[in-house]
């Protein structure tokens, strides 16, 4: 009879022991993901409220966010395509595939652990959003940093300014390149984006407010341009990659302005009205007529829309004083926007409104139009000199 080994083990137990010896680790339990989620959520709240309540902390967080965002922007700027779209598409499809496979196989324990991991992932995304971008909303108002005095304006004062924007627009409308149909034809997007980048470099050398770490230039959407238009989005800033993305459906007359708007976000300006003002400020004195025209046409649109709300007759009269080229550009703009009207567009606008309000701008999408207050303040200061 063959003697039995004193410490004999079955083949299966030996294999399991071998795996343990190799150092295989157990997956993080479901409550581990939830604890990490709670920690990240607490840090997000601390950064958000701390940056608003304690000025030194806010300044420190904003400087750190600008440095990291600029580094990410320059890194992703080496790749010509917008990485943000691929990341978003991959995340959405990955979650859908996991959800479908897990539910079809009825692996409820795996579903529970996976759900806890998704909660953690959401907390991580929130933390990065707060620390890389949302803290910028704690900065002092741009008007204060630029030494502007924002006051209540009368209809007469507003009409005077609209007339000034009409004068500036009229001087440029027939000088910008146009197609045979009369539409603005500003050339390749990439060259326009680089020109806007150069204008920000110029402004940074003249004004310390804009002397921040330099991000890369804007990119045009590759996958989601039509989706952006459907949800009423001309562009967006993606803080996770530092990219500034512009929809493919933006009309040429507005491309420089929209690129400059998203570029302002990349340079640490949070509120939408301040980004609009920064876009106008950086383009209005450009040596390129296309950039100047985009600045003044947008200034006219915002100012005349504000005037239209209080004095339709004068707003209509000032519109009539625009040259045919500028009126044509406004018609092209309205027709482009009208193509995407519908329930999805309304939903996208409502989501954007809720998002802007959540960042501390109670006016929501109306905050874009508040740029008129800053435009008037700048105009009054320059007129007084």
In this prediction, residue 9 carries a pLDDT of 47
Task: List helix spans (H) across 247-321.
Answer: 255-266, 272-283, 289-308, 312-320
Task: Give me the phi and psi of 283, to 5 degrees please.
Answer: -100, -20
| Predicted pLDDT of residue 369 | 62
Question: Consecutive sets of 10 residues in the chain, 385 residues long: mean pLDDT of each?
Answer: 46 49 66 92 95 93 95 94 90 89 81 89 95 93 91 89 95 95 94 95 94 93 78 88 92 95 94 94 96 96 91 93 95 88 71 68 62 92 83
> Does residue 62 contact residue 222 with C-beta atoms inside 8 Å?
no
pLDDT of 287: 94
Which position has the token pair 């200061």?
A: 381
Q: What is the pTM of this model?
A: 0.87
Widest Cα–Cα separation across the chain: 113
pLDDT given for residue 349 in this prediction: 67
User: Which are the contacts of 229, defined by CB distance < 8 A and separation ≥ 6?
Assistant: 247, 248, 249, 339, 340
Element containing residue 237 per DSSP (H, E): strand 235-238
Q: Write out the two tokens for 169.
A: 């627009």
Confidence (pLDDT) at 26: 73
* Contact present, 161 and 306 (Cβ < 8 Å): no
Strand partners, 236: 245
Q: How many whole angstroms from its chain centre is CA 47?
A: 20
pLDDT in the model for residue 98? 86
List phi, psi (to 5°) of 40: -65, -40
- Residue 25 structure tokens: 């680790």
Structure-token pair, residue 38 = 């709670």
* Nearest-angstrom CA–CA distance, 329 and 312: 21
DSSP letter at 24? -
According to DSSP, the residues that pair with 184 across neighbouring strands are: 178
Identify the burial level of 7 via C-beta atoms within 10 angstroms of its C-beta, where 0-12 means exposed, 13-18 middle and 19 or more buried.
exposed
The number of CA neighbours under 13 Å toward the Cβ of 364 is 7
Eight-state DSSP code of residue 134? G
CA angle 351/310/254 to nearest 5° reads 50
Q: Where are the alpha helices (DSSP H) in 54-80?
A: 55-76
- Output the CA torsion sign for 336, 372, 52, 265: positive
Angle at 215 between CA 242 and CA 134, to 5 degrees: 45
């Amino acid at each position: 009879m063959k003697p039995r080994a004193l410490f004999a083990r079955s083949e299966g137990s030996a294999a399991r022991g071998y795996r343990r010896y190799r150092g295989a680790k157990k997956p993080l339990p479901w409550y581990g993901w939830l604890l990490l989620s709670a920690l990240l959520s607490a840090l997000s709240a601390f950064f958000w409220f701390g940056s608003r309540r304690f000025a030194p902390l806010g300044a420190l967080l904003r400087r750190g966010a600008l440095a990291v965002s600029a580094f990410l922007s320059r890194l992703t700027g080496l790749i010509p395509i917008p990485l943000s779209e691929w990341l978003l598409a991959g995340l959405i499809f990955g979650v859908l595939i996991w959800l479908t496979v897990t539910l079809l196989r009825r692996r409820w324990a795996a579903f529970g652990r996976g759900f806890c991991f998704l909660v953690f992932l959401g907390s991580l995304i929130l933390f990065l959003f707060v620390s890389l971008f949302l803290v910028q909303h704690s900065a002092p108002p741009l008007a204060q940093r630029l030494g502007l005095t924002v006051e209540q304006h009368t209809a007469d004062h507003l009409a005077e300014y609209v007339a000034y924007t009409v004068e500036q627009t009229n001087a440029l409308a027939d000088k910008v390149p146009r197609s045979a149909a009369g539409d603005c034809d500003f050339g390749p997007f990439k060259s326009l984006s680089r020109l806007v980048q150069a204008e920000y470099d110029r402004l940074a050398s003249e004004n310390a407010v804009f002397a921040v770490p330099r991000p890369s230039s804007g990119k045009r959407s590759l996958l989601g341009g039509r989706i952006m238009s459907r949800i009423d989005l001309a562009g967006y800033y993606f803080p996770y990659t530092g990219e500034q993305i512009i929809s493919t459906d933006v009309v040429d007359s507005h491309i420089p302005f929209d690129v400059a708007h998203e570029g302002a976000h990349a340079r640490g300006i949070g509120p939408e009205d301040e980004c609009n003002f920064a876009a106008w400020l950086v383009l209005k004195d450009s040596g390129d007529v296309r950039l100047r025209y985009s600045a003044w046409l947008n200034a006219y649109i915002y100012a005349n829309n504000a005037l239209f709300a209080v004095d339709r007759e004068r707003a209509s009269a000032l519109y009539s004083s625009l040259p045919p080229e500028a009126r044509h550009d406004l018609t092209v703009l309205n027709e482009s926007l009208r193509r995407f009207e519908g329930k999805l567009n309304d939903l996208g606008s409502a989501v954007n409104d809720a998002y802007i309000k959540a960042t501390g701008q109670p006016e929501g999408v109306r905050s874009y139009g508040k740029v008129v207050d800053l435009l008037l303040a700048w105009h009054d200061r320059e007129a007084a000199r």
